[in-house]
Amino acid sequence: MTKDATSTRQDQRAAITRWHGTEIENFHTAQIARQVTDLIQQGRTVIPMHFGQPTAGTSPAAQAAAIQATRDDPIGYVESRALIARIAQHYQTTYGLSVDPARILLTAGASPALVTVFTALFNVGDRVVVGRPGYPAYRNTLKALGREAVEIDLDPVTGYQMTGAMLDSIAAPVQGLVVASPANPTGAVLNRQAFKSLSAVCARRQMTMISDEIYHGITYGERAICALEVNPDAIVINSFSKYYRMPGWRLGWMVVPTDLIARLSAYVINFFITPPTIAQTAALMAFDDHISLDESVAGYRHNRDQLLAALSAIGIREMHCPQGAFYLYIDVSHLTNDSMVFCQRLLQETGISTAPGIDFDPIRGHEFLRLSFALRPDQINQATKGLVTWLKAQPTRSNAPSAKAPAGPSST
């Protein structure tokens, strides 16, 4: 270990005893992102498969609207009525749902929406169910707030699906459920029946259902079910970061039950006042850019199929075929039991950045990687070739666990 690393560890230990508050896990992927920045500064080309962000960038129409706004708009605190109305219309046209615009609250992305909901709807000590593997911020944010994440182990053999029976098997007391469909990191999509059975358990056990719908619009078969189609009491969280290709603009929204509008509006304004004004102007334009956005989704599908075919051909196991989002979550247990070091070596040796499974699953994630395939056409061939060549060259672990029966890849 270097002297710098040793003193950083010591500083961290000193900070734990010196400051009040709660330590939570960092995203390990953030460390990979810093290494990516260092490599780019050294003049290396990196194919970015670590963060879940479309490399195609925001649509030109949205960017042009934002540039115009910097000239014409005083850029005050704004909650755009036009954008809220457009979001309400989206629920009608996409899901056939009539949503009162008053139920839509704008946020600076899905992340602040999660903080708001976890704070406003649960008390210290409350228990909230999440899937494992799952998005790390659920677990970490709940912990930061003194709430407890209760993890349900999801299995590739059953397509990483959470069922009503699994939820019902969690011992009382339990106050909430976070469900994500399509899910990060697996791309698993829940069908209407699954939502119905989860909703029935939530209703019977008086649990609040929070549905993270950030990957809606990015599906490779049937469109994703909105929780509100099945459960009118669900809290829906969505964002412009993924389908709308606007991650850095920091904009999202919640749809909340009528009797929670006042409570949640108070939390949002106290915590954040309003989301970025320019982002709201740009997002309004992004809504009407379906041709370009759907072209991106068609590209992700092509990327998914290409990667799945290439990685199955070299014996990567337990490869679940994602039905949505833009990630492959792959089992590399025959090659490593330290996914972080594996990602770091892969990055150094090939210039391909990936996310270690430990972010998504503290129990089994040391044997998994997540690959984001939201890449441009010019990047996917290089990514596929580079991954296949490098993975094939890695020695097999002598004490590797034996493979489970694979669930896929199945086709859509």
Token readout for 24 is 């939570």
**Interface stretch with ligand PLP, choices 25-33, 108-116, 360-368, 373-381 (CB under 6 A):** 108-116
Tell the smallest beta-carbon distance from residue 248 to ligand PLP (Å). 9
Tell the smallest beta-carbon distance from residue 27 to ligand PLP (Å). 10
Q: Does 211 bind ligand PLP (CB under 6 A)?
A: no
In the bound state with ligand PLP, the residue whose beta carbon lies nearer, of 111 and 323, is 111
Instruction: Pick one of 214, 218, 347, 355: the residue that binds ligand PLP (CB under 6 A).
Output: 214
**Interface stretch with ligand PLP, choices 65-73, 106-114, 350-358, 378-386 (CB under 6 A):** 106-114
Q: Does 58 bind ligand PLP (CB under 6 A)?
A: no
Tell the smallest beta-carbon distance from residue 17 to ligand PLP (Å). 32
Q: Does 117 bind ligand PLP (CB under 6 A)?
A: no
In the bound state with ligand PLP, the residue whose beta carbon lies nearer, of 184 and 277, is 184
Q: Does 213 bind ligand PLP (CB under 6 A)?
A: no
Total residues binding ligand PLP (CB under 6 A): 13
Instruction: Pick one of 59, 80, 141, 184: the residue that binds ligand PLP (CB under 6 A).
Output: 184
Tell the smallest beta-carbon distance from residue 111 to ligand PLP (Å). 3
Per-residue binding letters, 240-259, with ligand PLP (x by CB under 6 A): -x-----x----x-------
List contacts with ligand PLP (CB under 6 A).
52, 109-111, 135, 180, 184, 212, 214, 239, 241, 247, 252
